[in-house]
């Protein structure tokens, strides 16, 4: 197994308050890694470090090192804009742009100049929708507003939008927390398919979801990484008492 | 002759308006607390729960005690004096059937003034009428106070007595509040309609004297007509095109200054400025909005106009000392804060999730702003610009001081022009008669301006609707 991300002693603070400290973990390529833990444990903060989305937050400072394919992503020669094209992100609340479905998917390819002409762009859009399993549902209304779709469809639009930039990694920050079980099942199925060609890191509050979709799981608590192991292990024989308490529902 | 009316007893008790009002208010407040504690007692008596909160019963009693009585007070205060005047008018006419209308009014005015003690007279009849008039007013005030206070007390008592723990006071109170909202909306609409109608009828009088099509298509504006019959003056000509063109020209120049500067500063404030800079820049910009337009007028006339003139000279251009460009540019500066401050709010109202989504795809800040944020903010931005345009079109002072009064048919910003509002002001100030064609033409201009801004509004609304991108 090769590592996609390698983080060493990552520490993030907002002003004086430390959100996470001393996080060192390697994330493997082309599998799904789940980050679980109670609210405020720092799992989203950690996720946002991986594509430098924390940069836009004021008085947020980061220590330690994060390497993507042996390259320090906080190094001086790294452009966060380029990094985010390689490491895509899907957010908790579906946030399609108030544009047509086509324009939403084409947004990334357009700004990165991935298509040299209209037919190429069209191919990219169609492929992305296909991969996101949305093509059949929206093929007749690519010019309709994306905000008019259902919540689950909107979230899959956001996934398709991320895929369209052909990233290497997709970060998902509680992508199903606002969806019903059927829409959630569809997205989980989609994640499974995508994990063949993409590295996926998902933050989730649902332990069942982590158990269902992920191969490896990291458990965070109060800004510390408590345990990181194969998902099977974490959920059947956790090594740490805190992990045990959390997955059995004793706190969290 | 000594008059001794039984009504005289009332005059020893005066009930002035403010006194009646405060008694009414006091009574209503009393009934609020009375009902509030009363309903609790009643509920305890029946060991029952009140259907609404005790304060709702209090509010209900307050409203019943206050509103009807207040309306009566209002009607009697406004209508009462008119009614008394009418009675005395008829009385005078009956006494002197030969007098014509205006003479009767004159006598009535004299009676009123004598009764107020403003003038004195030796005429027996008038002194007598004045006494009666005074008594009538005292009676009015007395009965007004009596009726209002009794009505408040009675209604307050009845409603407090009738309130049961099971009756739903909240529903009635809320219905009343909704009706107040509705009434406020209706008042705004009615006033607008009234303004339009008054403008319309005055303008109609103008179009009786002057051909409508000559007015709206006429290329010559020269509203100088003979004021006295023996005066020699040219026939006035009222073609509004030069004036309207002046308005358009100056507003256009103002927009050219204000829209780019306002929008760019709004984008800077909303997206790039640190909170520290923002906290300093935004209030500073808003101070600009607080400067009286007369001060801008000075600035335009004394600083901007010579400045443009000098620049024109050095380029070999002939710039009039009162030029459209000076007035327009200063007007543009005046409306920058409107555009920047409103646009800043609109841009910041675009959800953060859209910014995150765009950044997460590897978009730069500029791409995010141009492709995602601004399109999402378009309806609000159009609104901000529209508000600024209306400000510009309605602006008078700067133009009077910096662009002149001469109605030149030109689109050259270096010449002096005049605007619709400036012409209206110059037509209506000074010694004027209100049935004169010159004066009435102001209403024609007013109506034209109104329709023009209305069209502009409709146009802008349709644009913003077409460009609108809905987000939720």
Q: pLDDT digits over A172-192, tens only?
A: 999 988 888 888 898 899 899
Among A198, A197, A195, CA closest to A215: A195
Provide the pLDDT confidence category of residue B2 given band limits of 50, 70 and 90: very low
How high is the mean pLDDT of chain B? 84
- Kindly state whether A52 is in contact with chain B, defined as any CB-CB distance less than 8 angstroms: no
CA distance B63 to B25: 11
Q: Would the CB atoms of A84 and B360 count as touching at under 8 Å?
A: yes
- Kindly state whether B362 is in contact with chain A, defined as any CB-CB distance less than 8 angstroms: yes
Ramachandran sector of residue A145 (left: φ over 0; alpha: ψ -120 to 50; beta: rest): beta
Give every CB contact of residue B405 below 8 A, 6+ residues apart in sequence.
Answer: B418, B422, B423, B426
CB A152 within 8 A of CB A182: yes
pLDDT score of B111: 84
- Kindly state whether B240 is in contact with chain A, defined as any CB-CB distance less than 8 angstroms: no
Q: Is the pLDDT of residue B433 over 80?
A: no
Q: Would the CB atoms of A84 and B364 count as touching at under 8 Å?
A: no
Specify if A214 maps to a domain: yes
Q: Would the CB atoms of B470 and A145 count as touching at under 8 Å?
A: yes
Residues of chain B with Cβ-Cβ distance to A91 below 8 Å are 353, 356-357, 360
Look at strands A17-28 and A3-14 and give their pairing: antiparallel
CATH number for the segment(s) B221-467 = 1.10.3720.10
pLDDT score of A134: 86
Using DSSP, state whether B296 is helix, strand or coil. helix
The nearest alpha carbon in chain B to A105 belongs to B361
- Kindly state whether A124 is in contact with chain B, defined as any CB-CB distance less than 8 angstroms: no
Using DSSP, state whether A155 is helix, strand or coil. helix
Residues of chain B with Cβ-Cβ distance to A158 below 8 Å are 357
Closest CB to B362 among A85, A93, A95: A85
Residues of chain A with Cβ-Cβ distance to B375 below 8 Å are 98-99
Q: Would the CB atoms of B360 and A83 count as touching at under 8 Å?
A: no
Specify if A150 maps to a domain: no
Chain B nearest C-alpha distance from A93 (Å): 8
Residues B235-258 have pLDDT tens digits of 678 888 888 888 888 899 999 999
Indicate where chain B has its CATH 1.10.3720.10 domain(s).
Answer: 221-467
Q: Which two tokens stand for residue B237?
A: 């000509």
CB B319 within 8 A of CB B304: no
pLDDT score of B1: 42
Q: Which two tokens stand for residue B90?
A: 């008829």
Q: Would the CB atoms of A97 and B372 count as touching at under 8 Å?
A: yes
Number of H helices, E strands in chain A: 10, 10
Closest CB to B359 among A53, A82, A97: A53
Q: Would the CB atoms of A98 and B376 count as touching at under 8 Å?
A: yes
Q: Is the pLDDT of residue B383 over 60?
A: yes
CB A204 within 8 A of CB A2: no
Residues of chain A with Cβ-Cβ distance to B469 below 8 Å are 97-99, 145
Helix/strand/coil (H, E, C) string of B231-274? CCCCCCEECCHHHHHHHHHHHHHHHHHHHHHHHHHHHHHHHHCC
Q: Would the CB atoms of B471 and A165 count as touching at under 8 Å?
A: no
Domains held by chain A: number? 1
Residues B179-206 have pLDDT tens digits of 999 999 999 999 989 999 999 998 888 8
Provide the pLDDT confidence category of residue B423 given band limits of 50, 70 and 90: confident
The CATH number of residue A8's host domain is: 3.40.50.300
Chain B nearest C-alpha distance from A99 (Å): 6
Closest CB to A81 among B351, B362, B376: B362
State the residue range of the domain holding A192.
3-94+169-247
pLDDT score of B161: 82
Chain A interface test: which of B274, B361, B364, B371 (most A C-beta within 10 Å):
B361
Provide the pLDDT confidence category of residue B159 given band limits of 50, 70 and 90: confident
Specify if A134 maps to a domain: no
Using DSSP, state whether A63 is helix, strand or coil. strand
CB A109 within 8 A of CB B434: no
pLDDT score of B234: 57
Residues A107-163 have pLDDT tens digits of 999 999 888 899 999 999 999 998 888 888 898 999 988 888 988 899 999 999 999
ipTM tops 0.90: no
The nearest alpha carbon in chain A to B367 belongs to A111
CB A9 within 8 A of CB A65: yes
Of residues B226 and B278, more confidence is placed in B278
Between the alpha carbon of residue B57 and those of residues A151, B163, B169, B221, the distances in Å are 45, 7, 5, 65
Residues B15-44 have pLDDT tens digits of 788 888 999 999 999 989 988 888 888 888
Q: Would the CB atoms of B353 and A99 count as touching at under 8 Å?
A: no
pLDDT score of A233: 92
Give every CB contact of residue B104 below 8 A, 6+ residues apart in sequence.
Answer: B89, B92, B93, B96
pLDDT score of B466: 76
- Kindly state whether A151 is in contact with chain B, defined as any CB-CB distance less than 8 angstroms: no
Q: Would the CB atoms of A98 and B356 count as touching at under 8 Å?
A: no
Provide the pLDDT confidence category of residue B103 given band limits of 50, 70 and 90: confident
Q: Would the CB atoms of B354 and A88 count as touching at under 8 Å?
A: no
Among A165, A11, A12, CA closest to A81: A165
Closest CB to A98 among B364, B367, B471: B471
Residues A56-107 have pLDDT tens digits of 787 888 888 999 998 899 888 888 888 999 999 999 888 999 889 999 999 9
Provide the pLDDT confidence category of residue B469 given band limits of 50, 70 and 90: low
Q: Which residue has the tokens 């590295």?
A: A199
Residues of chain A with Cβ-Cβ distance to B467 below 8 Å are none
Q: Would the CB atoms of B359 and A165 count as touching at under 8 Å?
A: no
Comparing A15-19, B58-62, B431-435, which segment has the lowest mean pLDDT? B431-435
Ramachandran sector of residue A44 (left: φ over 0; alpha: ψ -120 to 50; beta: rest): alpha
- Kindly state whether B372 is in contact with chain A, defined as any CB-CB distance less than 8 angstroms: yes
Q: Is the pLDDT of residue B401 over 90?
A: no
Residues B204-230 have pLDDT tens digits of 888 888 888 888 888 888 777 655 555
Go through chain B and tell me how many residues it has.
Answer: 472
Chain B interface test: which of A111, A128, A178 (most B C-beta within 10 Å):
A111
With 0-12 / 13-18 / 19 or more C-beta atoms within 10 angstroms meaning exposed / middle / buried, residue B360 is buried
Give every CB contact of residue B319 below 8 A, 6+ residues apart in sequence.
Answer: B308, B309, B311, B312, B313, B325, B414
Average pLDDT over residues A13-33: 90
Q: Which residue has the tokens 């320090």?
A: A72
CA distance A194 to A30: 9
């Amino acid at each position: 197994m090769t590592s996609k991300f390698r983080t060493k002693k990552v520490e993030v603070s907002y002003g004086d308050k430390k959100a996470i400290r001393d996080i060192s973990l390697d994330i493997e390529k082309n599998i799904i890694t789940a980050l679980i833990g109670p609210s405020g444990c720092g799992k989203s903060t950690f996720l946002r470090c991986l594509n430098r989305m924390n940069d836009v937050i004021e008085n947020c400072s980061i220590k330690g090192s994060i390497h993507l394919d042996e390259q320090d992503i906080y190094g001086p020669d790294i452009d966060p804009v380029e990094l985010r094209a390689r490491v895509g992100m899907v957010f908790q609340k579906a946030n399609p742009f108030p544009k047509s479905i086509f324009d939403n998917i084409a947004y990334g390819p357009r700004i990165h100049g991935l298509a040299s002409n209209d037919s190429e762009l069209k191919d990219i859009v169609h492929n992305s929708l296909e991969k996101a399993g949305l093509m059949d549902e929206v093929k007749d209304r690519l010019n309709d507003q994306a905000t008019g779709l259902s919540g689950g469809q909107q979230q899959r639009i956001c996934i398709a939008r991320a895929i369209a930039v052909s990233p290497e990694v997709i970060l998902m920050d509680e992508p199903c927390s606002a969806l019903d079980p059927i829409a959630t099942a569809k997205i989980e199925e989609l994640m499974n398919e995508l994990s063949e060609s993409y590295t996926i890191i998902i933050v989730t509050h649902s332990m069942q979801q982590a158990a269902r979709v992920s191969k490896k799981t990291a458990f965070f608590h109060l800004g510390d990484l408590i345990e990181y192991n194969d998902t099977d292990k974490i959920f059947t024989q956790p090594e740490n008492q805190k992990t045990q308490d959390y997955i059995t529902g004793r706190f969290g | 002759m000594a008059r001794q009316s039984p009504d005289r007893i009332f005059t020893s008790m005066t009930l002035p308006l403010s006194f009646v009002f405060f008694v009414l208010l006091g009574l209503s407040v009393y009934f609020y607390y009375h009902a509030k504690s009363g309903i609790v007692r009643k509920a305890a008596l029946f060991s029952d729960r009140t259907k609404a909160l005790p304060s709702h019963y209090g509010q209900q009693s307050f409203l019943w005690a206050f509103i009807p009585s207040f309306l009566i007070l209002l009607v009697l205060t406004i209508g009462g004096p008119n009614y008394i005047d009418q009675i005395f008018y008829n009385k005078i006419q009956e006494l002197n059937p030969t007098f014509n209308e205006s003479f009767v009014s004159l006598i009535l005015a004299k009676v009123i003034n004598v009764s107020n003690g403003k003038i004195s007279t030796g005429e027996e009849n008038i002194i007598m009428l004045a006494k009666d008039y005074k008594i009538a007013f005292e009676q009015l005030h007395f009965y007004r106070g009596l009726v209002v206070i009794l009505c408040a007390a009675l209604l307050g008592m009845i409603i407090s007595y009738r309130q049961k723990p099971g009756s739903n006071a909240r529903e009635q109170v809320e219905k009343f509040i909704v009706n107040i909202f509705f009434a406020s909306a209706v008042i705004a609409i009615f006033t607008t309609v009234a303004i339009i109608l008054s403008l319309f009828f005055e303008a109609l009088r103008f179009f009786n004297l002057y051909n409508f099509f000559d007015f709206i298509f006429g290329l010559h504006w020269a509203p100088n007509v003979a004021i006295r019959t023996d005066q020699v003056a040219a026939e006035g000509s009222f073609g509004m095109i030069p004036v309207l063109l002046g308005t358009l020209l100056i507003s256009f120049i103002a927009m050219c200054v204000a829209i780019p500067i306002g929008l760019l500063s709004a984008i800077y404030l909303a997206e790039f400025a640190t909170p520290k800079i923002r906290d300093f820049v935004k209030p500073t910009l808003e101070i600009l909005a607080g400067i009286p337009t007369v001060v801008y007028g000075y600035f335009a006339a004394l600083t901007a106009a010579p400045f443009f003139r000098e620049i024109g000279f050095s380029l070999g251009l002939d710039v009039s000392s009162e030029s459209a460009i000076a007035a327009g540019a200063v007007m543009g500066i005046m409306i920058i804060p409107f555009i920047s401050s409103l646009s800043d709010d609109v841009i910041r109202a675009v959800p953060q999730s859209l910014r995150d989504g765009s950044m997460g795809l590897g978009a730069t800040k500029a791409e995010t702003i141009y492709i995602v944020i601004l399109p999402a903010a378009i309806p609000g931005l159009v609104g901000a610009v529209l508000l600024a345009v209306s400000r510009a079109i309605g602006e008078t002072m700067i133009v009077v001081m910096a662009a002149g009064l001469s109605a030149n048919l030109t689109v050259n910003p270096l010449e002096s022009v005049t605007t619709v509002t400036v012409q209206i002001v110059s037509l209506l100030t000074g010694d004027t008669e209100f049935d004169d064609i010159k004066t009435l033409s102001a209403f024609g201009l007013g109506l034209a301006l109104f329709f023009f801004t209305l069209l502009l509004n409709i146009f802008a609304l349709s644009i913003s609707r077409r460009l609108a991108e809905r987000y939720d």
